[in-house]
Amino acid sequence: MDPLSPLSSLSYDVGDFLYVIPIAIPALFGMIVLILDIYLGRGSNKTPLALTSGLGCLLTAVAAWALWAPATGAPVMAGTLAPSAFGAVAALAILIGTTLIGFSVAHHSQSADGVGVDLGRSIAHGELYGLLLFATSGMLAMTIANDMVTFFVAIETLSIAVYALTGVERRRARSAEGAMKYFVLGAFSAAFLLYGMSLLYGATGTMRLDVLAETAIKPSDLPMATVGGTLILIGLLFKVGAVPFHAWVPDAYEGAPSAVTGFMSIGVKVAAFAGMFRIVEGLGACGALGADLAGSPVGSWVLWFVAALTVIGGNAGALTQRNPRRLMAYSGIAHTGYLLVALVAFTRQFGHSSDALNMTYAAHDAAAGLLFYLLAYALANAGVFAVINHLERRGEDVDSLDDLAGLAHTQPRSALVMAVCLLSLAGIPGTAGFLGKLWVFRAGVASGDVGLVVLALMASAISLYYYLRIVVIMYMREPQAGTAGASSEDPQRWCSRLAILVAGVLTIWLGVYPPNAILKLVVDGAQALVH
């Protein structure tokens, strides 16, 4: 049947529902968690919630690996989804975030002595886990969405859940403020995204990315398509927190409770980047990224400048931060910048440069680099936030880096994992972050963007300062009484300790000897994206 006929877009196999399973499981478990919370009652130990959501994530990961990884990226479900290994890797990165962050806050509802619970400060109730899982469902859908409507629904599913999560600590003003700001600006960007999509539909007559990629737009419709494509790009650049659309990031990250900040910094970014690469593939192939300028579409030059601004802005901003969440916010912006380098390399294939074959290689490298980078980034951020969550107790927020002073003396294991994860974020060899950066920057060099790569390298050299400063504070300062860093390890908090351990071990493992299965999945994912 002709794929473009109206009828074909409504037909699908029953077997296609298999591919929906990884999206459905988190939603299902979100509901289970909410119900379970009612049975557990107020003030009780909420560890079962963490375990239940962890189980859900595990099942999802298995399902994603089993069902998405072998798929070729051909559209299913009436063209709304295109499952592939690309989506599987992104899903793994997202699930790493959800699971580890969920585990690391498992004990937040318990007071230190296990008796009284201050509900105002307690966040680890059913809503938290429910919203985490609903957002995860939306993120997973985003990584394989093949239809712009599906894509938009997915992005809103996750966004609304995350707006609510930001304000989950409802008695704290900063939390509510952050949620409000995030919501207003998020709605703003959603308008750009939606408007761009409708313009593009007007120009091309399709919402499907795979069809879009094969559409030859009439020259008279090209301006509309280009404006539409650019608006979509702007909406997505907001989601990943690229300069100058990044202003919400520090405020939202600081306002939200650490648990939510950790989740946001991983899940939202991974899903947004995965979706962005998929959409850009469609935009670029149909020419909606603009006309050729020196061999590449204008869109890739725009991204070039955005990437340059983002690596500089993110790293410069992080230098003088004292609040760990704000620092991680800027660090996240900086990582957005590095990943935009990969996106620039990725978009070079759409131009008509004389070096087309090499540009395809570079695009392949960029997509593979992106996936590995996302895994490394998810692990490292999960480790950092797991440690922060582990340290936070009733009344003992980690609001200043000084609170971490002397952590290496009181909790050597947590401090070690934190140090490893920070080094991974800085891209020190021996950690997953190094391989991720290497891969991404290699793609940048292959696509001829040496200047941008050099800039990113210099910026990441600057980043060493603020990452290492935390290590210095942890290892070379004496613990200060009354701070989180001064309290010793609590053996009862095994859930969060497990999360910390897993993040540390995997960061080193992926950095020193990445297993072949993962590498194969990453390369398959890139293959599915770049034909």
- Binding another protein by CB under 8 A: which of 5, 8, 72, 320? 320
Query: With CB under 8 A as the contact rule, which of the stretches 20-28, 164-172, 242-250, 517-525 interacts with another protein?
Result: 242-250
Q: Which of 286, 316, 284, 285 is nearest to 301 (CA)?
A: 284
- Binding another protein by CB under 8 A: which of 213, 227, 416, 438? 227
Pattern 191-210, another protein, x by CB under 8 A: -x------------------
Q: Retrieve residue 243's tokens.
A: 């300069």
- Binding another protein by CB under 8 A: which of 250, 282, 284, 525? 250
CB 210 within 8 A of CB 75: yes
- Binding another protein by CB under 8 A: which of 71, 161, 276, 318? 318
Complex with another protein: residue 292 or 402, whichever CB lies closer:
292
Complex with another protein: residue 188 or 361, whichever CB lies closer:
188
Measured N-to-C along each axis, helices 85-104 and 516-529 cross at an angle, to the nearest 10 degrees, of 130
For every residue of 459-520, DSSP letters joined together read HHHHHHHHHHHHHHHHHHSPPPTTSGGGSPP-TT-HHHHHHHHHHHHHHHHHHHS--HHHHH
CA gap 502, 495 in Å, rounded: 11
Number of residues that bind another protein (CB under 8 A): 41
- Binding another protein by CB under 8 A: which of 214, 465, 489, 515? 465
The conformation of residue 219, written as its DSSP 8-state character, comes to G
- Binding another protein by CB under 8 A: which of 298, 445, 464, 498? 298
The strand pair at 296-297 and 292-293 is best described as antiparallel
CA gap 81, 218 in Å, rounded: 27
Q: Which of 282, 284, 277, 279 is nearest to 299 (CA)?
A: 284
On the CB side of 527, how many CA atoms lie within 13 Å of its CA? 11
223 binds another protein (CB under 8 A): yes
Q: Which of 419, 422, 414, 421 is nearest to 487 (CA)?
A: 414
Complex with another protein: residue 102 or 317, whichever CB lies closer:
317
Complex with another protein: residue 367 or 456, whichever CB lies closer:
456
100 binds another protein (CB under 8 A): no
Complex with another protein: residue 75 or 228, whichever CB lies closer:
228
Q: Which of 424, 407, 410 is nearest to 473 (CA)?
A: 407
Task: Give phi and psi for 145, each to the nearest 5.
Answer: -60, 135
332 binds another protein (CB under 8 A): no
Complex with another protein: residue 185 or 498, whichever CB lies closer:
185
State the residues that interact with another protein by CB under 8 A. 180-181, 184-185, 188-189, 192, 222-223, 226-227, 230-231, 233-234, 238, 244-245, 247-248, 250-251, 290-291, 293, 297-299, 301-302, 306, 312-313, 315-320, 462, 465
